[in-house]
Amino acid sequence: MEFDHTYYAFFIRWLHVLNGVMWIGLLWYFNFVQIPNMGKIPDDQKPAIGKVIAPAALFWFRWAALGTVFFGLWLASLNGYVMDALQLGLGSGIAKHAAIGFGMWMGLIMAFNVWFVIWPNQQKALGMVDCEAEEKARAGRTAMLFSRTNTMLSIPMLYAMVSAQNLY
CA contacts within 13 A on the Cβ side of 26: 19
Residues 6 or more apart whose CB falls under 8 angstroms from that of 114 comprise: 61, 62, 65, 150
Average pLDDT, the chain: 95
Report whether pLDDT(2) > 70: no
CA distance 11 to 71: 10
Q: Are 108 and 69 in contact (CB under 8 A)?
A: yes
| Helix ranges restricted to H, 54-132 | 54-78, 82-86, 95-113, 119-125
Rg (CA), the chain: 18
Q: Are 62 and 114 in contact (CB under 8 A)?
A: yes
Please state, for a pLDDT cut of 70, what percent of the chain lies above it.
99
Q: Which H/E stretch holds residue 23?
A: helix 5-29
The residue segments making up the domain with residue 13 are 5-166
Report whether pLDDT(52) > 80: yes
Q: Are 121 and 83 in contact (CB under 8 A)?
A: no
The pLDDT confidence band at residue 168, using thresholds 50, 70 and 90, is confident
pLDDT (tens digit, 9 = 90+) per residue, 108-143? 999 999 999 999 999 999 999 999 999 999 999 999
Domain count, the chain: 1
Prediction pTM value: 0.91
CA distance 121 to 140: 6
CA distance 3 to 106: 32
